[in-house]
Structure 1
Amino acid sequence: MMINSSGISRKRAFGSDKENVWSTMLGIEANENGLVIKQPRLALGAAAVDHNIFNSIPYSPPDNFFLTSVDPWSPIKSEPIPLLCTPDHRTVNRPETRFKNGASRQILKWTRSIGEYGDGNNAFREPNSVAWLESGKIAVVDTNAHCIKIFDSESGQYLYSFGRGRTLGCQNLLYPYRLAVVPNGNDQLVVIQRHPRPQIHVFSCQGEFIRRFGQHLEKPRALTVDKSQRILVIESQIQKLHIFSLYGQILCVFSFSQQLQFPTSICSNNSEIFISDNHLHSIKVFSYTGQLLREIKDDIYIQFPTNIKLNSKGQLIIIDNHQGLNITVYDENQQKKRLGAYTARICHSQILDVAIQTNTNILHLASKDYRVYTYQLLF
């Protein structure tokens, strides 16, 4: 309000003050009597244009990528805006790579995913482990649902499930945690339970209960079954390795408290035992007599290993969860040569377990986002 020389007050005209400079942009105007007139609002994005449209892309487009400029205030034209990249023989068939944590990795895109959160047939509450069966099926451990779910590995279609309250005559499962398939054993499944009742169960691939043992286990973390059908179980926190026969006899027990800090995964080529250690950032290789043979260490490519697998050629596949999914492959000759390094196009929340198809390099990864992803490695 302003007071003139005659002492009469008058109102300040609407829009005459800098404080009201944004009123017209908000669709607000005043008539000659000072009354507010509401105008139609502009469409989102019509009042301002971001001329740096590529700032949200994590990498720059190639030099030959072009975008025709368009006047944002002109009428919309019916002709499409060309967004095509001119062919360049230098980039044809060249794999997309990403420089990550000091290492160059080829970017992979998953070929299929199954699952979501829930209690349905195609849903999981905690998919902690996955295994590929020789009959062409995928078995997934759903820990909080206390069951094992079976899917077709080609189509991803749900087939059946078994476990607690699922199959008549089946031994109930309580928090099943890890899963392994018996080689040349008609797809028998070895399942290990976690706290509060750690033990080992053996089932047929149809879910028929066969036997259970290993009630003395304390902190089972991972297991595998070698070609001689020996069951190897590694315990975290207490760093113990247990070796059982398929029928439950204890063959040997080793304490690796001096060699390990936090073991996360285990696999075997039937003569050597590979154990990943998340805290030591390496893979330790032991004999079946408990002797430490060597250590696989690669500071740039092996940082926080969580899962390891051997393919049919004996090549070692290491899964690392450091800042997303990282996959590194080493050769079969004492893992001295790196064959490939990969990362995922998307940033997975956490990979819980990995299965590999026999005679292929197709990986099935159980993720903490309640899905199982399939990747194809090329090397």
Structure 2
Amino acid sequence: MGHIYNSVGECGKRDGQMLYPNRVAVARNGDVVVTEGSPAHQIQVYSQYDVFVRKFGADILQHPHGVTVNHRGCVIVVECKVMRVVIFEPNGRIYSKFSCSQHLEFPNDVVANDNEEIFISDNRAHCVKVFNYHGIFLRQIGGEGMTNFPIGVCITERGHVVVADNHNNFNLTSFAQDGSVISALKSRVKRFDLTLIDEGSVVLASKDYKVFVYRFLSHDINYSW
């Protein structure tokens, strides 16, 4: 039986309360960043001690989904349906926004490296699309037959891009940032989302309401569990 270590927010509409949270990211300072779906369409930030910090984005966001926090503390949000990326400064002011409608079909997760590149997993395009902070499409990682229906993307401390997909079995594929394949594995358990908690561990949420923590058996480029 799992034990709750900590929690943030509660049900409601006031500061420190949430309705329909959908994605979570953790900043390097420990702040917890949450995207809220309809009707709020906003971002909420909590400290690692469950203290409400701020909320923003309700006046600009329409369908916030995937979220990440870059090395400068900027909050990067990818919106499904409207196919847009919005980048907020740590204080909630807009840094930039751009449309990805020419390149994306159904974005669902996002991560950023330290070189101002944004990696977006696209479920229906079967790949990860990479953009810069001005919305210029740079390259594609993965593709049909390799990363079918991706449901999450993250970057390890070594800079490897890890893509999870749920096509038939659960698949986890690791790429260099230029798109070259490093390793791949498969599992029979259906997953919903993933994140890294350190260089050797990955957390997976399953469709049967369970959370799994896996530890890589080795730190070389051939991942095995």
| Fold equivalence (TM over 0.5) | yes
SS of 1:162's equivalent in the other structure is coil
Paired with 1:306 and 1:246, the residues of 2 have a C-alpha distance of: 26
2:9 to 158, 163, 177: 163
* Deviation (angstroms), 1:201: 0.7
Are the counterparts in 1 of residues 8 and 46 from structure 2 also a CA contact under 8 Å?
Answer: no
Partner of 2:39: 196
The reply on whether 1:302 has 2:173 as its aligned counterpart is no
Relative to the length of structure 1, the TM-score reads 0.54
Paired with 2:41 and 2:169, the residues of 1 have a C-alpha distance of: 30
Q: Structure 1: which 5+ residue stretches go unaligned? A: 1-113, 115-121, 123-156
Q: Within 5 A, what are the aligned runs for 1:144-183?
A: 157-164=3-10, 171-183=16-28
The reply on whether 1:261 has 2:105 as its aligned counterpart is yes
* Deviation (angstroms), 1:165: 5.8
Are the counterparts in 2 of residues 170 and 207 from structure 1 also a CA contact under 8 Å?
Answer: no
The reply on whether 1:364 has 2:203 as its aligned counterpart is yes
Partner of 2:195: 355
Q: Structure 2: which 5+ residue stretches go unaligned? A: none
* Deviation (angstroms), 1:347: 2.6
Partner of 1:321: 166
- Shift of the 165–173 alpha-carbon distance from structure 1 to 2, 3 Å rule, reads closer
Paired with 1:297 and 1:311, the residues of 2 have a C-alpha distance of: 17
The aligned amino acid for 1:355 is: T
The aligned amino acid for 2:183 is: G
Are the counterparts in 2 of residues 192 and 199 from structure 1 also a CA contact under 8 Å?
Answer: yes
Relative to the length of structure 2, the TM-score reads 0.89
The aligned amino acid for 1:373 is: F
Partner of 2:156: 311
Partner of 1:98: none
The aligned amino acid for 1:354 is: L
The reply on whether 1:211 has 2:54 as its aligned counterpart is yes
Paired with 1:278 and 1:177, the residues of 2 have a C-alpha distance of: 17
Paired with 1:238 and 1:286, the residues of 2 have a C-alpha distance of: 17
* Deviation (angstroms), 1:223: 0.5
Are the counterparts in 1 of residues 142 and 179 from structure 2 also a CA contact under 8 Å?
Answer: no
| Greater gyration radius | 1
The reply on whether 1:374 has 2:219 as its aligned counterpart is no
Percent identity between the aligned chains? 33
The aligned amino acid for 2:167 is: H
- Shift of the 339–209 alpha-carbon distance from structure 1 to 2, 3 Å rule, reads same
Paired with 1:292 and 1:161, the residues of 2 have a C-alpha distance of: 37
Paired with 1:339 and 1:225, the residues of 2 have a C-alpha distance of: 25
Paired with 1:256 and 1:355, the residues of 2 have a C-alpha distance of: 24
Paired with 1:174 and 1:264, the residues of 2 have a C-alpha distance of: 19
- Shift of the 292–160 alpha-carbon distance from structure 1 to 2, 3 Å rule, reads closer
Paired with 2:155 and 2:204, the residues of 1 have a C-alpha distance of: 15
SS of 1:161's equivalent in the other structure is coil
* Deviation (angstroms), 1:289: 1.4
Structure (1 or 2) with the greater strand fraction: 2
* Deviation (angstroms), 1:241: 0.3
The aligned amino acid for 2:9 is: G
- Shift of the 196–376 alpha-carbon distance from structure 1 to 2, 3 Å rule, reads same
The aligned amino acid for 2:213 is: T
Paired with 2:5 and 2:140, the residues of 1 have a C-alpha distance of: 41
Q: Deviations over 1:134-182 (max 9, x none)?
A: xxxxxxxxxxxxxxxxxxxxxxx3223232169xx96111111111111
User: Runs ≥4 in structure 1, deviation > 3 angstroms?
Assistant: none
The aligned amino acid for 1:272 is: E
Paired with 1:224 and 1:181, the residues of 2 have a C-alpha distance of: 8
1:272 to 117, 130, 151: 117
Paired with 1:165 and 1:297, the residues of 2 have a C-alpha distance of: 39
